[in-house]
Copies of this chain bind each other. A is one copy, B any other.
Amino acid sequence: MSVTVVGSIAYDRVRTPFGERERMLGGAATHFALAASFFDEVRAVGPVGDDFEDMETLALRGTVTEDVERVAGGKTFFWHGEYGWDLNTRETLDTQLGVFETFDPKLSEASRQAEVLFLANIQPDVQRAVRDQCTGARFVAMDSMNLWIEIARASLVKTISGVDCVILNDAELRQLTEKPNLVSAAREVLNMGPSVIVAKQGEYGAALITKDEYFSLPAYPLETVVDPTGAGDTFAGGFVGYLAKNPGEYRTAMAYGTALASYNVEEFGTERVVRLTEEEIEERVQALEGMTRLSISV
């Protein structure tokens, strides 16, 4: 059994109020794999250029990288961004697609056999091409972003209709459905086909919405947040990775995703998660259980 993730493998240049990195390993597939590999075998799919030097870090904790396509003469996807003083706003200063410009994913037989698939944030046509190759997947989750809602909405809705779980920021859910109310927005996305919606709410946590259930979990409270880059993908990695091993255990999966994301933001890029231990994850999952427990005394 394994989890296949398709998405960006990147270098990021990031500045936050707490420092900067000129060039650090990043990308949605990278953050997802580093988190999900705590729970199950992960197979990463995505292109890199000649300049990519971090395959070992990507392969940490057993992630299979045989479907990471190294494009001769190409450059690895590069993102340059800067965060505002409270880390809630960020500005993209530069995006160089590089090898992503012509990315046409061809999955190995093993990656196509994965029972669980995560379509990280890439062009929705490409997401669908991958989804169609993975005919045996019993659970498919996906991310997206405002750009695709704006320029490729029809394709995005088609992709959404073919997955089980949509993981989006609450602002993206509102934008996609043009409904300011989160519950209404989630209900509309459920009507497109998926059975589970996860609304990421940044520092406020995340909500899980199904046809019959609403579950909300706060973010793990931190005094020091250094770099939010990759938090959403780390959350998705913990959430989907846990579900791969524990099908249907959505609430606990939310706690694992939340715990992993909380470590991710404590340092730049992948720096904290690469040396994270299972014990540390368990510690925060237990803490989350304590800080949300509502013992009704009536």
Contact = CB atoms under 8 A, between A and B. Distances in A.
A252 interface: yes
A295 interface: yes
A87 B252 contact: no
Q: How many subunits of this chain does the assembly comprise?
A: 2
Interface residues of A, number: 45
Given A201-B204, A218-B216, A223 B181 contact: yes
Contacts of A57: none
Nearest to A174: B86
Contacts of A297: 246, 249, 252
Contact of A217 (B85, B214, B294): B294
Contacts of A214: 221, 291
Contacts of A207: 218, 221
Interface string A215-235: 111100111110000000000
A182 interface: yes
24 contacts: A85-B180, A181-B223, A181-B224, A181-B225, A183-B221, A183-B222, A183-B223, A204-B205, A213-B291, A214-B221, A215-B292, A216-B292, A246-B297, A249-B297, A251-B293, A252-B294, A252-B296, A255-B296, A282-B298, A285-B298, A288-B294, A289-B296, A292-B292, A293-B293
Given A217-B292, A249-B297, A255-B294, 7 more contacts: A182-B221, A183-B222, A201-B204, A205-B216, A251-B293, A255-B296, A292-B292
